[in-house]
């Protein structure tokens, strides 16, 4: 059996086989989800070959997508991309220009 080390230097992020930061959680969570789904499918009576085929294809896609996201966005890029969705692209004023320019007197 191969031996894998999780390398973490002082002040550095956790890294495993090139995966860094939040991608480790996506990787582990995705594989755990595939395993749980495999068990549910097998226990529900679906043929064993179909369950294994589904699990292999799903696990390969989880691994491929996770490594592609890691390579594309880097350690902090995915968080930046998710936060950009919450930020408005433009600010829309629905008031007339005259009303925006008038001063309010209490």
pTM more than 0.85: no
Residue 8 pLDDT: 60
Beta strand 19-20 with 15-16: parallel, antiparallel or unpaired?
antiparallel
Per-residue pLDDT, 32 = 96
Helix (H) or strand (E) segment spanning residue 46: none
Residue 1 has a pLDDT of 65
Residue written as token pair 């594989």: 31
The half-sphere exposure of 56 on its side-chain side, counting CA atoms within 13 A, is 6
Q: What is the pLDDT of residues 49-85, one digit of tens each?
A: 999 999 999 999 999 998 888 888 877 777 777 777 7
Q: Convert the pLDDT of each residue in 6-65 to its tens digit.
A: 666 666 676 667 777 778 888 889 999 999 999 999 999 999 999 999 999 999 999 999
């Amino acid at each position: 059996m191969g031996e894998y080390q999780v390398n973490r230097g002082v002040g550095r992020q956790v890294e495993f086989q090139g995966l860094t930061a939040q991608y480790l959680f996506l990787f582990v969570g995705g594989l755990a989800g595939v395993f749980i789904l495999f068990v549910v499918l097998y226990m529900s009576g679906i043929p064993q070959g179909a369950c294994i085929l589904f699990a292999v294809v799903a696990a390969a896609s989880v691994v491929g997508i996770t490594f592609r996201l890691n390579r594309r966005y880097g350690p902090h890029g995915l968080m930046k991309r998710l936060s950009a969705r919450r930020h408005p692209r433009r600010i829309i004023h629905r008031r007339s220009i005259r009303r925006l320019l008038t001063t309010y007197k209490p």
